[in-house]
Amino acid sequence: MRAFSFQTDKGQAQIGVEYQDGLYNFSAAWELYKQLKNNGRGPELNFLQIMVEADFFHAETFQEVLFDLKEIRPIDDLKLGKDIQFLPPINRPQKILCVGRNYRAHAEELGNETPKAPVFFCKPPSALIGHQGKIRLPKGVGEVHHEGELAVIISKTTKQVSKKQAFDHIAGFTLVNDVTARALQKQDQGAGLPWFRSKGFDTFCPVGPFLVPRAAILDHRSLELQVSVNGEVRQEASTAQMIFDLDELVSHLSGYCTLEPGDIIATGTPAGVGKLSSGDEVQVTIKEIGTLVNTVE
C-alpha cells in the first residue's frame, strides 16, 4: 500500500493511493466513505501530513475505506490518469533532519573519518520538491552532487525515546535526494562553518513519490537503494550497510530535539555521489517504495 500527494487540475491538493489495478483519489474516496458511515464530522484528508498527525496513516485505513466503498458502488470514477502532478508526500514538515556519513564507503570517498556517533544537519522545508520536479542549479556555487537516501517520517511527538521504542515512532518510508553544492560545502567545511548553505538551496530536497506505511515494509534493514543519472547507475547499496540503524537514529535525535509528526529524517547516502549537470535525469529507487525521478536545469 503506497500513498502519495498530488495536485488536481484546479490546483487542489489531494491524497492518492496505489490500490489493486491503479492509482486512486483517496481524498475523494474518504469523503464518500464518510457519507457511507454518516460521519460528516470526520476531518478532511487532503494532505498526507494530516493523516500522519491524526494517526490515520496506516495501511488498514486505506484498505478499509476503499474496500467498504467498493462493496457499495464502483470506484472506477476515482481512478487517476497518467498525467499526475505529484507533490512532496509531506510538504510542510516542521523539520528536515539529515544524517551525514552513515555509510562507511561514502565517508571514505569524501576523505572523512567514520563517525562514532550519528552526524546530523538540517535542510529547510523551502528546499522541498516532489517527484518529477526540477532541480535548479544555482549560479556560481560550483559542482552540485546527487545523494539518494531512504527517509523516514515521524508519526508522533518524540522526545528522549529509547532505542527499543524508537521504531514505533516512525509513520512510514519515502525517498529523498539530498542534493548538495559540494564545492560550497568543502569551502564552508574548510572555514569551520556549518553545511547549511550547501544543503539548503531551493529544490535541493526532492522527496517521494510515495509514502509507504511502516508496517508495509517487512524488513527495512535489507532494502536495496540505487541511484542512476541518465540511466547510468552511480550509487548502489543495501540499508544493511548503514552504520547507524533507524531506531538508533531516531532515539539519538530525540535526545537533542523534540521530533514532531511529519518531520522528515533522511538516513544517509552510500558511496558513488557525483556531479549533476543541466539536462540530467536523476532517479532514486528502492523497489518497495518506488522511484523518485527529477530533471536538472
DSSP notation for the chain: -EEEEEE-TTS-EEEEEEETTEEEEHHHHHHHHHHHTT-TTSPP--SHHHHHHTT--SHHHHHHHHHHHHHHS--GGGB--S--EEE-SS-S-S-EEEEES-BHHHHHHTT-PPPSS-EEEEE-GGGEE-TTPEEPPPTTS--EEE-EEEEEEE-S-BSS--HHHHGGGEEEEEEEE--EEHHHHHHHHHTT--SHHHH-STT-EEB-S-BEEGGG-S-GGGPEEEEEETTEEEEEEEGGGBSS-HHHHHHHHHTTS-B-TT-EEE----S--EE--TT-EEEEEETTTEEEEEEE-
Q: Measured in whole angstroms, how far is the alpha carbon of residue 226 from the centre of its chain?
A: 15
Which pLDDT belongs to residue 40? 65
Please report, rounded to a whole number, the percentage of residues in the chain having pLDDT higher than 90. Answer: 92
Please report, rounded to a whole number, the percentage of residues in the chain having pLDDT higher than 70. Answer: 99
The C-alpha cell at 114 is 567514520
pLDDT at 259 > cutoff 70:
yes
| pTM recorded for the entire structure | 0.96
Q: Could you give the CA distance from residue 112 to residue 222 in angstroms, rounded to a whole number?
A: 25
90-296 is a CATH 3.30.160.620 domain: no
* Least confident stretch, 33-42, 140-149, 231-240: 33-42
Which pLDDT belongs to residue 21? 87
Q: Could you give the CA distance from residue 17 to residue 2 in angstroms, rounded to a whole number?
A: 6
pLDDT at 279 > cutoff 90:
yes
Q: Which of 90, 40, 28 minimizes the C-alpha distance to 65?
A: 28
- How many beta carbons lie within 10 A of that of residue 41, not counting itself? 6
Grid look-up 510515495 returns 210
User: pLDDT by residue (tens digit) across 62-113?
Assistant: 999 999 999 999 999 999 998 999 999 999 999 999 999 999 889 888 888 8
What is the side-by-side strand order in the sheet with 2-7?
22-25, 13-19, 2-7, 85-87
- Considering Cα of 38, then 40, then 42, then 47, what sign does the dihedral take? positive
Please report, for the chain, the start and end positions of each structural domain, with discontinuous segments joined by +. 2-86, 90-296
Which pLDDT belongs to residue 239? 97
Residues present in the chain in total: 297
pLDDT at 138 > cutoff 90:
yes
- How many beta carbons lie within 10 A of that of residue 3, not counting itself? 25
Facing residues of 151 across strands? 174, 266
Which pLDDT belongs to residue 107? 83
